[in-house]
Amino acid sequence: MTELINRPEYLNQLIQNRDVDLVKIVTGIRRCGKSSLLDLFHRYLSDSGTADANIIHMNLESLRYRNLSDYLAFYDYVSERIPRSGKTYLIFDELQAVAHWEKAIESFRLDFDVDIYITGSNAYLLSTEFSTLLSGRYVDIRMLPLSFKEFLTFYDFAPSVTAEEKFQRYLQFGGMPILREYQFNEARSNQALEGIYSTVVLRDILQRNSQADQGMLQKIILFLCSNIGSITSPNSIGNVLSSEGDIHAGKGRNVAGKTVDKYISMLRSAFIFYSVGRYDVKGRQLLKTLGKNYIIDMGFRNMLLGYRDGDRGHILENIVFLELIRRDYRVYIGKAGDAEIDFVAEKPSDRLYIQVTESMLSPETRERELKSLRMIPDNYEKIVLSMDRNYISSYDGIKSLYLIDWLLA
């Protein structure tokens, strides 16, 4: 195998689930490292004594398997290769290439002593049919592009490069692992990102949604990229596009909004965007209207719009959102009275309230960011993250942290 860069957080999740009777499904946007993760896991199995015959590892997008496009042919091919003794590890990459693959997977579980690992580049992999068939018998491991901490291990920096300069590179180029080959060459990096983006749009969205309009999809993507971290709704986006003549409002109410909603759902399913709902902290309930959308990687946004430093506050917010997802939080936008809280992050036994801002140095900004957190009536941890290297670490019990330190914690 070629040189593989370790991503221990994800590899450890696979190792911890090894031999547990659940199908392990690694999902994430194309080229975020899923295939490399399966290669790393294959190597781990070999190094820990598993015989080669007991590891069946296939990438279903390879033409080698072009005749396995339906589940029966796929089942027969794999079944013939499973040894009759010992546990066999089945590792299937880009399994969405096989029609009704879930029927074969369930049959392998029933018929053989196997442990199954799957990747896929779109959420259709976890569609209703599959969820119904394997209800409660799979674990979904969501893979994201590189975190800032991983980014620092992927690239070689001269000793003189400061943490802020490294972080600036991260904001500009993003965390898609493939860009390592281009060593921050902007033109080549953008070409690579454009190739991934086009594949996602064409194969993971337009091929699966024959009624979708490519021009409309592109306009909605550009709108979302320009408005990351801004509170919007499908209706408000539809109204903007209607007024600009990009989308027909139709005679019925909210036709434009419904169209936008459908396209955003497609983008979520291809793992390009996350949509985040709002949570009323005082009323302790989810609100049905308005939310925010965040992009999976800043590199794509910069490739589409050009790198714009003017809205760094929203860019930083996007980075924090992705980091909270990596840390297994369920994330909402918070509302406390008239005040907005950037993030309410929950785990079964924990909750965090987070404000993100470029700087807390101006009294007006400081008052605005702290006011929202002060209005929260409970005692869970409240944090303001900023780019200030500030000696003030707390305001009346509200923590003030340097964003880079928080990302590397």
The token duo for 268 is: 């979520």
Confidence at residue 246, expressed as pLDDT on a 0 to 100 scale: 65
Half-sphere exposure of residue 205: CA atoms within 13 angstroms, side-chain side: 29
CA–centroid distance for 233 within its chain: 21
CA–centroid distance for 172 within its chain: 18
The DSSP code for 51 is -
Query: How is domain 8-142 classified at the CATH fold level?
Result: Rossmann fold (3.40.50)
Residue with tokens 């066999």: 88
Confidence at residue 351, expressed as pLDDT on a 0 to 100 scale: 94
Across the 409 residues of the chain, what is the mean pLDDT of every consecutive 10-residue run?
78 97 93 95 98 97 95 98 97 90 93 95 71 82 96 96 97 96 96 96 90 94 94 90 70 72 94 93 74 96 89 94 97 89 94 95 92 91 93 86 96
148 contacts 319 by C-beta, under 8 angstroms: yes
Half-sphere exposure of residue 96: CA atoms within 13 angstroms, side-chain side: 22
Q: State pTM to two decimals.
A: 0.92
CA–centroid distance for 125 within its chain: 15
Report the SS3 class of residue 104: helix
The DSSP code for 282 is T
Distance CA 356, CA 319 (A): 10
Confidence at residue 1, expressed as pLDDT on a 0 to 100 scale: 44
The domain locations on the chain are: 8-142, 149-408
402 contacts 387 by C-beta, under 8 angstroms: yes
Distance CA 152, CA 162 (A): 12
Distance CA 295, CA 174 (A): 11
